Chains A and B, each alone.
Chain A
Amino acid sequence: MLSVTTATTQLSDRQIRDILRSVRRIAVVGASTNWKRPSFFVMKYLSQKGYQMLPVNPRVAGQTLLGETVQAKLADVGPVDMVEVFRRGEEAPAIAEDAVRCGAKVLWLQIGVASEEARDIAERNGLQVVMNRCPKIEYSRLWGELGWQGINTGVISSQRRHR
């Protein structure tokens, strides 16, 4: 899942923190019902943090995943704040167009997923784009939990942490 080594977007920690503070409904395109898959880990973790995680996957449409019905396509999910993409980069441009139609404010491409074309589509339509990062890792990094496992978070601050 880390085979793609394209540069990550140059968003600052503050920008990513602002994104994670502002969004609530997150569509997950490529959501897996197999609990060992990274997409399941992400959904499980972020739903525990209070986000509404809305799964999209045509192969398991109609099944229930972490309390939500899996939809066949993004258009069926309804309005969302953010679209998280667990599909290959080639599929990202079409998902970006759907994300625009859903009214999403953020297009987030998972670690290992990169597409400059998808970025162009999203940014032209006023969306913020995060690429080649994992929202679970970023959330746990910026709010201190990743450090609980001995991981270098890069976060240096003498301010008290607030959600």
Chain B
Amino acid sequence: MKKPLHPQYGFETLAIHAGTPPEATTGARSFPIYQTTSYVFEDADHAASLFNLQTPGFIYSRLTNPTVAALEERLATLEGGRGATCTASGHSSEVLALFALMSPGKEVIVANKLYGGSINLMGKSFQKFDWKAIFVEATDPDAFRQAVTENTRAIFVESLANPGGVVIDLEAIAKVAQEAGVPLIVDNTMATPALCRPIEWGADLVTHSTTKFLSGQGNAVGGVVIDAGTFPWLGNEKFPSLSQPATEYNGITFAETFGNDLAYTLYSHAVSLRDLGATMSPFHAWLTINGVETLALRMERHCQNAQQVAEFLQGHPQVDWVSYAGLPDNSFHQLASKYLEGGAGSVFTFGVKGGYEAGVKLVESVELHSHVANIGDTRSLIIHPASTTHRQLTDEQRVAAGAGPEVIRLSVGLERVEDIINDLDQAFQQLQQ
């Protein structure tokens, strides 16, 4: 099932080189930031060819931009995909991923263990498009199978679910999607392609908030949708955006004119980004290109640090439970061993004794940890989801999403691990006073 990402080069090499050859005119070795909105046409015929999609090239940076394209190629390469489309944020990557697939009245089956913002987006805001999100138990592939109807157009899960350290059985759910004849979309933000490549397990589309581990330093908001290039769009009546003539492009059919493998990515630029306008900025793309170069190194240390912090917490008298799949007695340990290479990530939750009050006090007592609504930074981050990221959900949704009143989420950073542990320890001591 697993084929190499490249016939010659390995992951670390591709993370540094894919998409960013030396700039052709000057030889600049660091990839340039093409901070421009628009591009001069060679002549009227060239302009016509670009608007007809007959030749690759640049028209306007809402659709494509050289720096953003370099990041797209790099991320497509690292996920083992055929093409990628960057977006303004992780949230817009979820909208864009579905835009080519959905229409009013159609359904997307969604795992109930998701980032709280995604639950809100899909459960509430999608109703404005009359897109129906059907939430099912994330850990039960049969629940996905039972939710399939003739209106199902996609299945959406997170490979390693935020915030609770839940590892999804990707292979089993990919089988459900294949039987249903719809694409499986996997958000791989928490695992990153350094630990898990969902396409190798049968995913058709992969999304990321590139804001997190990919950029890696908490300085650039962004998202991406990566297409495996293997879903059969051609002649597929369920997906008319790709299988029927596009009137605004003089009746070309994306899956026929560009082939099954390129159709989704070209549509995502030429239609989805054109109309949704949720484009990544060239500067954010450049920051992310640089961040990705050290992804494998950073993820290795993130995982090592997280493992030690989780072990410290598991032995701490003020901690009720620790939900980290890297711990041998964790119920997701086996799935983590199967799907996550080299560690269970660095974001996980634990339950502090004393419930909501203790949770709030703990995040106010740390000194080195930053109390922020983000993950995947070089810095160690801490948050109390019930009072922040998951605040807009109902009590039931919060518990279902693994964000009950006593839950603390950590994103373990790259500081010296003893310093991270000592900071948590002194915060626990303050709780007792």
* B55 in contact with A48 (CB, 8 Å): yes
A161 vs B260: C-alpha distance when bound (angstroms): 29
* A151 in contact with B76 (CB, 8 Å): yes
A148 CB contact (under 8 Å) in B9, B64, B252: B64
Chain A residues lying within 8 Å of B256, measured Cβ to Cβ, are 1, 38
Q: How far is the CB of A124 from chain B (nearest CB, A)?
A: 29
List which A46-70 residues lie within 8 A (CB) of chain B. Answer: 48
* B260 in contact with A2 (CB, 8 Å): yes
**Could you say which of A23-31, A80-88, A139-147 contacts chain B?**
A139-147
* A151 in contact with B82 (CB, 8 Å): yes
Q: Is A111 an interface residue (CB 8 A)?
A: yes
Q: Give A36's nearest chain B residue, CB to CB.
A: B252
Q: How far is the CB of A131 from chain B (nearest CB, A)?
A: 16
Q: Most chain-B CB neighbours within 10 Å: which of A146, A156, A158? A: A156
A147 vs B74: C-alpha distance when bound (angstroms): 9
Chain B residues lying within 8 Å of A157, measured Cβ to Cβ, are 17, 21
A45 vs B45: C-alpha distance when bound (angstroms): 11
A130 vs B186: C-alpha distance when bound (angstroms): 36
Chain A residues lying within 8 Å of B70, measured Cβ to Cβ, are 147
Chain A residues lying within 8 Å of B261, measured Cβ to Cβ, are 2
* A111 in contact with B69 (CB, 8 Å): no
A155 CB contact (under 8 Å) in B13, B21, B85, B86: B21
Chain B residues lying within 8 Å of A153, measured Cβ to Cβ, are 73
Chain A residues lying within 8 Å of B204, measured Cβ to Cβ, are none
* B6 in contact with A150 (CB, 8 Å): no
Chain B: residues with Cβ within 8 Å of the partner, total of 52
Q: Is B93 an interface residue (CB 8 A)?
A: no
Q: Give B268's nearest chain A residue, CB to CB.
A: A150
Chain B residues lying within 8 Å of A35, measured Cβ to Cβ, are 52, 54, 250
B6 CB contact (under 8 Å) in A2, A41, A154, A158: A154
Q: Is B345 an interface residue (CB 8 A)?
A: no
A1 vs B232: C-alpha distance when bound (angstroms): 12
Q: How far is the CB of A32 from chain B (nearest CB, A)?
A: 12
Q: Give B52's nearest chain A residue, CB to CB.
A: A35
Q: Is B207 an interface residue (CB 8 A)?
A: no
Q: Tally of A-B residue pairs with Cβ under 8 A?
A: 114
A135 vs B425: C-alpha distance when bound (angstroms): 63
A149 CB contact (under 8 Å) in B27, B49, B56, B260: B56
* B56 in contact with A140 (CB, 8 Å): yes
A162 vs B266: C-alpha distance when bound (angstroms): 26
Chain A residues lying within 8 Å of B13, measured Cβ to Cβ, are 156
Q: Give A149's nearest chain B residue, CB to CB.
A: B56
List which A105-163 residues lie within 8 A (CB) of chain B. Answer: 111, 134, 137, 140, 144-161
B24 CB contact (under 8 Å) in A36, A41, A160: A160
Known: A48-B46, A48-B49, A156-B17. A151 touches B262 (CB 8 A): yes
Q: Is A44 an interface residue (CB 8 A)?
A: yes
* A45 in contact with B55 (CB, 8 Å): yes
A1 vs B205: C-alpha distance when bound (angstroms): 22
B69 CB contact (under 8 Å) in A48, A147, A156: A147
A149 vs B45: C-alpha distance when bound (angstroms): 20
Q: Give A147's nearest chain B residue, CB to CB.
A: B73
Chain B residues lying within 8 Å of A146, measured Cβ to Cβ, are 56
List which B60-111 residues lie within 8 A (CB) of chain A. Answer: 64, 66, 68-70, 72-73, 76-77, 81-86
- The secondary structure that dominates the A interface is loop
Chain A residues lying within 8 Å of B8, measured Cβ to Cβ, are 156
* B69 in contact with A2 (CB, 8 Å): no
Chain B residues lying within 8 Å of A159, measured Cβ to Cβ, are 21-22
Q: Is B265 an interface residue (CB 8 A)?
A: yes
Q: Is B18 an interface residue (CB 8 A)?
A: yes
Q: Is B197 an interface residue (CB 8 A)?
A: no
Mark interface residues in A1-12 (1 if CB within 8 Å of B CB, else 0). Answer: 111000000000
Mark interface residues in B1-35 (1 if CB within 8 Å of A CB, else 0). Answer: 00000111100011001110110100101000000
Q: Give B66's nearest chain A residue, CB to CB.
A: A148
Known: A1-B259, A151-B265, A158-B22. A45 touches B83 (CB 8 A): no
* B259 in contact with A111 (CB, 8 Å): yes
B17 CB contact (under 8 Å) in A48, A137, A158: A158
Q: Is B283 an interface residue (CB 8 A)?
A: no
Chain B residues lying within 8 Å of A41, measured Cβ to Cβ, are 54, 257
Chain A residues lying within 8 Å of B250, measured Cβ to Cβ, are 35-36
13 contacts between A and B (CB under 8 A): A38-B256, A41-B54, A48-B45, A145-B57, A148-B56, A148-B69, A149-B56, A149-B269, A150-B69, A151-B76, A156-B8, A158-B22, A159-B22
Across the A-B interface, the 9 shortest Cβ-Cβ residue pairs: A150-B72, A152-B76, A145-B56, A151-B83, A147-B73, A150-B84, A156-B17, A148-B56, A152-B77
| Chain A residues with a Cβ under 8 A of chain B | 1-3, 35-38, 41, 44-45, 48, 111, 134, 137, 140, 144-161
| Chain B residues with a Cβ under 8 A of chain A | 6-9, 13-14, 17-19, 21-22, 24, 27, 29, 45-46, 49, 52, 54-58, 64, 66, 68-70, 72-73, 76-77, 81-86, 234, 250-253, 256-257, 259-262, 265-266, 269
**Contacts A151-B265, A159-B22 known; 18 new A-B pairs at CB < 8 A:** A1-B256, A35-B52, A41-B257, A45-B55, A134-B259, A148-B56, A148-B64, A149-B64, A149-B266, A150-B83, A150-B265, A150-B269, A151-B73, A151-B83, A152-B76, A153-B73, A155-B21, A156-B18
